[in-house]
Amino acid sequence: MSLLHSRGQARIDCNLTPLIDLAFLLIIFFILVTRMSGDQSPPVALPAPTHPAMKPAGTQSRLTVNVEVDGSQTVVSLGARRFAAGERGHEELAIALARRIRSDPTLPVDIRADRTLPYSAIEPTLRSIAHAAATAGSGKITVRVCALERDEGTNE
């Protein structure tokens, strides 16, 4: 008869308390750092100025116009809605923007454009925004340019 059997069955207890503590800490961390605003901004390589002098974007509602590179073509989107490339897409963007501006003229229009795009690819979007503001009858709308806050990773 072995010693183990003489003492009865061995019980292995797993101490769950530190595990649960850690899990809760991680959950609290992720709740704090996750944005649940439903902001459907696609990831865009925004310009990163060397000595930035801009203001924080804030958490207020905004209309986001994204200008991205997709393969060889430039894609413009308003929030999650994408528009066809070319002049027709910019016309549709102006119509959609005008509708949104008419319903709430206080909403700022933010331009999120890829830093590598030439100005000629972004200028039609600026024109569409100006055209939308004029169509909506809004004398002055707030248009903002988005850039990255810090200059990490950029060459001075």
Beta-carbon neighbour count of residue 25 at 10 Å?
Answer: 10
Residue 115 engages another protein in binding (rule: CB under 8 A): yes
Min. distance of Cβ 152 from another protein in angstroms? 7
Please select the residue that binds another protein; options are 16, 18, 37, 72, rule is CB under 8 A. 16
How far lies 103's CA from each of 19, 76, 99, 130, in Å? Answer: 51, 22, 6, 17
For residues 10 and 14, which CB has a smaller minimum distance to another protein in the complex?
14
Residue 48 engages another protein in binding (rule: CB under 8 A): yes
Please select the residue that binds another protein; options are 27, 61, 104, 106, rule is CB under 8 A. 27
For residues 6 and 50, which CB has a smaller minimum distance to another protein in the complex?
50
CA-atom Rg of the chain in angstroms: 26
Which of these, 108, 109, 126, lies nearest to 117 by C-alpha position? 126
Min. distance of Cβ 88 from another protein in angstroms? 19
Q: Are 94 and 133 in contact (CB under 8 A)?
A: no
- Name every residue whose Cβ is closer than 8 Å to that of residue 131 and which is 6 or more positions away in sequence: 94, 98
Binding site for another protein (CB under 8 A): 16, 19-20, 23-24, 26-27, 30-31, 33-35, 43, 46-57, 108, 110-120, 122-123, 126-127, 129-131, 133-134, 142-150, 152
